[in-house]
Amino acid sequence: MGPVIRPQRLRQSAAIRRLVAQTRLHPAELVLPVFVREGASEPLAISAMPGVVQHTVESLVAEAITAADAGIGGIMLFGVPSTKDAVGSGADDPDGILNVALRAVADAVGDRLVVMADLCLDEFTDHGHCGVLDDAGRVDNDATLERYAAMGLAQARAGAQVLGLSGMMDGQVAYVRAALDAEGFTDTVILAYSAKYTSGLYGPFREAVQSSLEGDRATYQQDPANATESLRELELDIAEGADIVMVKPAMPHLDIVAAAAELSPVPVAAYQISGEYSMIEAASAQGWIERDRAIMESLLNIRRAGAQIILTYYALEAAALL
């Protein structure tokens, strides 16, 4: 006699597989990260990220309208300034590229798409670190918090609905929350990069933002060897008032995504970062993997691990495939 219990019964057709699927993706769960470059007269290709560009303000607005029409959940803006300095002055300058772009995008789609801003100094500092440096060349955590507060207020005034605190400074959520509330921005959402690991997969992003970084960020980003401290960081961010918490990179740390989803009382996001994107692009260009299938499988796995929100450069493509 053959087996009585046959799990394959629930896999025998596309219709049955669809019926019993435990995890589903929806465009509204996807957020598109985008880059806007000061002084650009046309969109500029990023060689390490085929298909991704540094936008002009005008092309960025057009992309935001496309994203709203596609029904994705949000758009996260990163600025690429033409000049940098030690304290990242362009970050909180109302006429700085990121704040100019935020105003333009918020005016165009702010009632149809969640407009998010990266809140970090690394794109704006001439040394490339996520904060200001002390006399010994180390990142000064507490001095950096003051710069983050100024940057957060500038972004909120420009129309950002969500601030993505990505610098991994201790106390950043509480400090920025207090600054926002004191100025009446009590509705501005804080998305905390609670578990941001130092990683070898950030290289393409550094090209995208023309990073000036020398060395690494291991003294403030998390060690990939560790898991417990990520949950501690997550609990601290929630206690400080984070509205959403995030894990980055996504695929190498799906165990942390799952642990965060089990622990967190607020939504959990995950960022499929530039290196994850570029690996799929490179392998598919060689014919080694099926591109569309790999894209959707990677996103489904992040969702299955527990992320309710996924930042991905594939957001528009995935929405169309869905």
Q: Which residues are catalytic?
A: 196, 248
Residue 281: what residue type? E
Tokens 């992309």, located at residue: 63
List own/partner pairs for 10-18 with CB under 8 A and 24 or more apart: none
Nearest to 60 by CA among 6, 108, 121: 108
> What is the dihedral sign for C-alpha 97, 93, 274, 310?
negative
Nearest to 322 by CA among 76, 92, 72: 72
What is the rounded distance in angstroms from the CA atom of residue 46 to the CA atom of residue 48? Answer: 6
What is the rounded distance in angstroms from the CA atom of residue 176 to the CA atom of residue 101? Answer: 21
What is the rounded distance in angstroms from the CA atom of residue 313 to the CA atom of residue 316? Answer: 8
List own/partner pairs for 282-288 with CB under 8 A and 24 or more apart: 285/50
What is the rounded distance in angstroms from the CA atom of residue 299 to the CA atom of residue 280? Answer: 12
What is the rounded distance in angstroms from the CA atom of residue 276 to the CA atom of residue 48? Answer: 11
Nearest to 98 by CA among 37, 144, 163: 37
**CB count, 10 Å around CB of 15?**
7
Bridging pattern class, strands 30-37 and 74-80: parallel
What are the angstrom distances between the C-alpha of 47 and each of 55, 272, 317?
14, 18, 19
